[in-house]
Amino acid sequence: MATELTAKNFDETLKNPLVLVDFWAGWCMPCKMLGPTIDQLSEEYKGKVFVGKVEIDNNQELAEKYGIMSIPNLIIFKDGKPVENIVGAVPKGTIKAALDKYLKK
């Protein structure tokens, strides 16, 4: 399961070498479709990638800080910095390819 992130614990998670954050909302149907995929990736990449979720309605300051205009919106952070942004309910393979690219670096 992906970890629920808030303003209180978000910065702490960025201390992990590679982080995938799913910005989502409960009313967003594509977000709901992508949710199980994010949880699967959390299990598949356990120990390699920290996977978290930010519910934007309850964490508007984080959504603003990272310029979230559309959801679902995935941001990959490497060494605490955003390195890739994936918008929309994309296939699992697309997300895996992006993560694998940064695991190899």
Specify the DSSP element, H or E, that contains 102: helix 92-103
Q: Which residues form the catalytic set?
A: 28, 31
Mean per-residue pLDDT of the chain? 96
Topology annotation, domain 3-103: Glutaredoxin (3.40.30)
- Dump pLDDT digits (tens) for 20-51: 999 999 999 999 999 999 999 999 999 999 99
Specify the DSSP element, H or E, that contains 34: helix 29-44
Q: Where residue 104 falls among pLDDT bands split at 50, 70, 90?
A: confident
Domain-wise residue ranges, the chain: 3-103
Whether the CB-CB separation of 74 and 24 falls below 8 Å is answered with: no
